[in-house]
Structure 1
Amino acid sequence: MSLQSLQSLLLATFHLLTANYFLLPSPPPLPTNPMKHIIIIGGSFAGISTAHRILKQASKTTAAPFKITLVSRDTHFYWNIAAPRAVMPGQFEDEKLFLPIAEGFKGYPAVRVEVVVGEAVGVDVEGKELEVCVDGAGVGEKRMLRYDFLIVGTGSSSREGMPFKSLGSTEGTREALRGLQERVKGAETIVVLGAGPTGVEIAGELSGEYGAAKKIYLFSRAAAVLEGRPASVSQTALKQLQKLNVDVRVSTSIETITDLPDGRQELTTSKGEKVVADLCIPTYGVQPNSSYVPAQFLDANGFIKVDEYLAVRNADGVFAIGDVSDAEPPQFWFVDKQSLHMAKNMVLTLSGKTPVPYKVSTTGMMGVQIGKKGGTGHFGSFKLPGWLVAMLRKSLFVENLARTVDGSML
């Protein structure tokens, strides 16, 4: 064997015996945070605002991967705050009341948010899946969407199919609103049933617009208009309605409604009086949109039971906000407050931090427009000046529609 061959053999043997001493240890695998899927149900104030708030806040405070899927029965956001005036023809163009929801989320990366037009028809809280009918009509193609967190913000509906809130689809709501406008236009005698905020605003809008050309009644089984509000507010509302020539009947319920051959209706009151109306507009009460939620999570009136974190009791990862929950009365002020808190807590959770409890408001507040120049309201026990309410609600905030849909006002 040559000297050169011997050197090569010794060198190869050396490397073989000492190779492990010179190899660096493999680094441990990097931890991975799985993508969290947040499903938000509801295409109105609660759902839209919460989605925007999470997207905006999370981009600034956490690197945790997540995706939001917004499920909405409606293709368009409906600015129902203006509904009491919109029942009259010619008050608003469609684009002042309805705007496409999906357009409002185009400013975010597609990996972050998806808008699904469909109706929630079932929730499997054990399997963490939401069943969605993608045609929005409760029949047809079904999709099962798996979630890590589910935020329910499906709101409430007006009774008797009135278009004061969404009726289940944008087209259905538009058609109902246009139909009501035509009936208002042709009616000479209109009876508004219920003297809560919606009834008071509608009666005031009708009388303020048509004056003596139409006879407007306002019936309430309660002892006062705006019952449950400070007495001074109720009295002011009554005086303003009477000044507009609204015929207000309190402590009076409707016992029977009889359809007449000419298309009108005859109403018999609890006091034995008969009133013939061309149009009746019921405004009393709302019902929560919770039919798809298992019964054990609902109270006796159909509202979803939540705890101090707005979490649905005994349903892991599920939350409910706005009109559909039992946290606070169905009112815009409370919806916005809950949305703000829900977004904050969701971002804390995504960041691995502890969420904070929600503080239920103990201060009642309300503002109602009565005609285009009047109004009343209160904050707690403090009565708001009528001129201030009328000035603030003059446009019924329709200028905020676009900024609500695209999140720019949040």
Structure 2
Amino acid sequence: MSVKCNYSSIYYPLLRNQLLTDPNGFKDFINNHFINPDEVYRTFVSGVNTNSTPTSVFNIQAVSSRIGVEFPQEVTSPQQYYIGNARQYNRMIDNAAKRLIALSVFDINTDSFIDANAIVGSYSNLNNGIFKYKLELLSNLSSFMGKSIPELYVTSDPTQTIKIFENTIEEYAAYIRNSELTQDQAFFNAFNSYVTLTSFDDILKLYTPFIEVKPEFKKSSSYSIDRYIYNGPNVTHYTGFSNNEFMGSEEAVSDLAKILLSYFPEVNSEGEVINNTSISLSGFNSTLSKVKLFTEETLDPDVTNELKKGANANMNIVINKYLQVLNSKALPPEHITYLQNKLRGIQKFIYSDNMAPQIKQMFTNLMSKTVLSSYISYSTDPISNNLTSKNLTDRPVSIERFGIVDVVKAASNY
């Protein structure tokens, strides 16, 4: 395996060509070659057109020195609103995806799984939640214009509700086209709400495909109340893993695990959530592979006794033991902080007392399938003159050995 590296602008032409020629293999390519694959992926999918035929490039810009902004003539993707502004696109997507996961899978504020399709009143939990979410977004538009919208409820007249949504959105679009505006945070809060509302179904397909439009609503207004259905994994009775011992962690991980890992944030030393972060699948694998290596090397009876329980092991005990020895490891301080933040997030959300035992078991099984990356170098041994292969982590030890040998040789000459 080759050494992974940090992204820099010198790799831009290579990655842009890779994304355009092989979009399906792009994520695997950056996972294999970069230390920060999630960040690189978000940067490129936010700013590079992956279609085989050119589409219009849109940037929020003034149509004159005095008034407004212009919109792309034909919108085929929410990304078209943010070319050149990946930060705001990522913020919009991150907020939308996390809110939708909270409405359909797991609510981080209550530490509880959601029965999305359960009917409450006239509509499902999912559709009740999405209606309230869209209403919040619509209120952001009207507030930005200094106006208010009539009170709306799921029980309001559907035709009237749709009309209010459509009229407010149209009014907002005209307002920012014909007004002199400062593109500050208030502007983007409203603008991101506008893009989320007008691209809602596209966002579902791209980032939360487990929420789908019901077949009978395919041709209806996107502001219809009973429009969506949850078709994701059953979070009440779910194990999510194959028994195939030869299957790698990427293949074995369940859809539910991927969803949760993209949703659960990191936690700092004060026990507070770190905003705009996620544990992520790659973060989970890299972090827990080190914990797994620790369990294979330690003689601590608390750890060895816990591991005998298999998938029912109390992983908080194991992770706490690893955290205790982490500061003594010869690692850069920033890497130690990275591991600590990930592990605290894993403890707080995955291995919390409120998490269902089946879900804890699912992630413990995932940890057992992780494999620590090994970076191999080839060189000529200066003593034997033979070609040897070494793990790069062995190099500092070898350098020290050669230094000692040189000192001994020098001393023997006197």
Please confirm whether the aligned pair reaches a TM-score higher than 0.5, indicating the same fold: no
Larger Rg: 1
- Normalised by the size of structure 2, how large is the TM-score? 0.26
- Normalised by the size of structure 1, how large is the TM-score? 0.27
Structure ranking higher in helix proportion: 2
